[in-house]
Structure 1
């Protein structure tokens, strides 16, 4: 069989879905990756996967002509490659991919949406203006007998189910895109009580990820005479209107508030050098990759009780610490608590690792994804191993 994966960046496909593609190839199937041009596309060839760049696609574009050209190009690719199943990732790709799949007569479609996205979570005029159009397009795209919608947490499943955009029995929940728990492992040496605490935030540099609160917490701890290192990994996202700009991040780094690493290829190596993974997000996440990678490495986690984040830290004080969103003081207090109590630091990391092994190992996630494919391609086999959403 032939499978096609379609996402709005080649970076996403390479970092989040390559393992699934390799499992399919090992099972004897062909996989084609489709995305706008980027710096990661050429890497697929080394893994035996074909990558096709959609030159016209710009994930931030609202130009009707450009969007029409993108849809036309995608439809042509699908007609030429003739996949048996198309798996679309992110909201925009779900819409375009589902429409193109119908035009190209692709037999089955899976639409995966991690988080509700800017249009549904922002209260800006632009987002509110786009929302009715996106809802109408989503309803058209998702209303297909041979398609399923995959979401990463029950909160999003409830939100989608309550909108009437899709029948609840067409929703499947697969928590996260998974983490390689063999590659992401705890360090062999644990920090002693005198070692300088190092706290990492690894994410796209969007305001809703709690970037400003992270920097403000650093400033507070410095004012209080605390010696804690704050590390920021990630780059601005020009395609998102809520991205922090590079000049601002550089100012924070120059002031000594954060050590900014930019994009990091070797995340397992970086995680072995830090003690805490913080994500003070006030954004509707799917299930944040940074949190499950930090959990797999046995780091203490600090996050908020927001959709997606609460899937990773489910019990405050046991498998992580929860802070109030948009509250730099609360974040600073949590970091001080871990700085002062290294036994708690180790306990939280141990429980986080156990949860990652139990719930987020990529082998489990990949198998649940393949179960969804099987359910669509062979409906007589019964429901998939993914959690069905029941209203």
Structure 2
């Protein structure tokens, strides 16, 4: 009988962009893979790839307590129906609600992926502080199951949840992002012509979109010749989303080009010279790993997640967060930086070193599979499937992409 893996993600499009390779690898390893998301256009793609799909009433922006309770109950019922060997929870609400549901259902093991802590842990003020207290309680409940592991993308997020008592060192492991497929993201020389500076992300204030536009405006006024472009859509469900009227105003002004959502990001990076992400906080931004794999230098902020994706002075530059003046180097310096970026990258060994470094990141897929095995095996060694995992040795893949001896148990 196959082991059952249930992956719960808010958005089916996010699953396709961030978790598809992991699910496919699990399927190849012999798991029966179920995907639970809200409805969306990408559901057909999920089913078309041979996965079982379950629609859940999940909403990233929902605040109605009765509807949120309905989401928890729906997850609880689903867990009772398919009785997963491993429940893999991705993004904030699935981690919180799925973790609580798993404590009340026959789930043998839980693997929760913390890909960032969200705007609640960045916002200031009395309301934000009160909300953080509530979220902290939910994290302690959700991550309290004994046979549970929590995957963090950076050490700062791990420390934040340790401080509030939600996780312990024994339950935690750091995997630096979801990895990239190097067949899809390859290094190319920079295009000839006017330099292109790209910010690719959901169009949120928390992603530093305002700072990016202000810096572009200033540099253009200083005479810098470059094209600044935004790639991505607003997220109306997020309180920090940029609205459509603002995007239209920037387009009319000519300060930036707004390209909207692009499905072929490798092509976007091929036609760019520098990739920028002035975010306030991240898990580990996949866009920066993709940009690095394409041989593009990045400029990003010195905050959790972003700084973990950059080797300063080698693969990119770090700047202070929410600090537009720090971007306002003299236009002559910017011009020199832009026009010489690929030559600098070659001299620094970036073209040669980035793909090999990204290959290590792509081993995160193997590490996820190892964690699922460890979680499942720990539950098999107990009578009720609720004991903790006792070590980390089963979770490490070698640099050659093979398992350590003894890691093929229970597959």
1:385 to 362, 379, 395: 395
Question: Which runs of no fewer than 5 residues in structure 2 stay unpaired?
Answer: 382-389, 398-411
Alpha carbons of 1:131 and 1:343: their partners in 2 closer, same or farther (altered >3 Å)?
Answer: closer
Q: What residue is the counterpart of 1:246 in the other structure? A: 244
> So what's the TM-score if we normalise by structure 2?
0.87
CA RMSD of aligned residues (A): 2.1
- Structure 1: distance between partners of 2:316 and 2:10: 32
Q: What residue is the counterpart of 2:327 in the other structure? A: 331
Q: What residue is the counterpart of 2:203 in the other structure? A: 205
Q: What residue is the counterpart of 1:319 in the other structure? A: 315
Question: Which runs of no fewer than 5 residues in structure 1 stay unpaired?
Answer: none
SS at match of 2:395: coil
- Structure 1: distance between partners of 2:354 and 2:339: 24
**Within 5 Å, which residues of 2 pair with 1:1-391?**
1-54=3-56, 56-187=57-188, 189-191=189-191, 195-281=193-279, 283-315=280-312, 317-333=313-329, 335-342=334-341, 345-347=344-346, 350-351=349-350, 354-359=353-358, 361=360, 363-379=362-378, 382-383=391-392, 384-385=394-395
> Does structure 2 conserve the Cα–Cα contact (< 8 Å) formed by 1:8 and 1:35?
yes
- Structure 2: distance between partners of 1:349 and 1:250: 39
SS at match of 1:88: strand
SS at match of 2:363: helix
Comparing 145-154 with 355-364, greater Cα deviation is found at 355-364
Count of matched residue pairs: 381
- Displacement of 1:367 after TM fit? 0.7
> So what's the TM-score if we normalise by structure 1?
0.91
- Structure 1: distance between partners of 2:376 and 2:278: 40
> Does structure 1 conserve the Cα–Cα contact (< 8 Å) formed by 2:292 and 2:358?
no
Alpha carbons of 1:313 and 1:149: their partners in 2 closer, same or farther (altered >3 Å)?
Answer: same
- Structure 2: distance between partners of 1:24 and 1:169: 24
- Displacement of 1:247 after TM fit? 1.3
Q: After superposition, what is the alpha-carbon deviation per residue over 1:277-322, rounded to whole angstroms, capped at 9, x for unaligned?
A: 00112x221111111110000001111111111112132x222111
Alpha carbons of 1:343 and 1:45: their partners in 2 closer, same or farther (altered >3 Å)?
Answer: closer
- Displacement of 1:385 after TM fit? 3.1
SS at match of 1:106: coil
> Does structure 2 conserve the Cα–Cα contact (< 8 Å) formed by 1:300 and 1:348?
no
- Displacement of 1:370 after TM fit? 1.2
Runs of 4+ residues deviating >6 angstroms = none
- Structure 1: distance between partners of 2:108 and 2:338: 55
> Does structure 1 conserve the Cα–Cα contact (< 8 Å) formed by 2:119 and 2:206?
no
- Structure 2: distance between partners of 1:58 and 1:293: 28
> Does structure 2 conserve the Cα–Cα contact (< 8 Å) formed by 1:318 and 1:347?
no
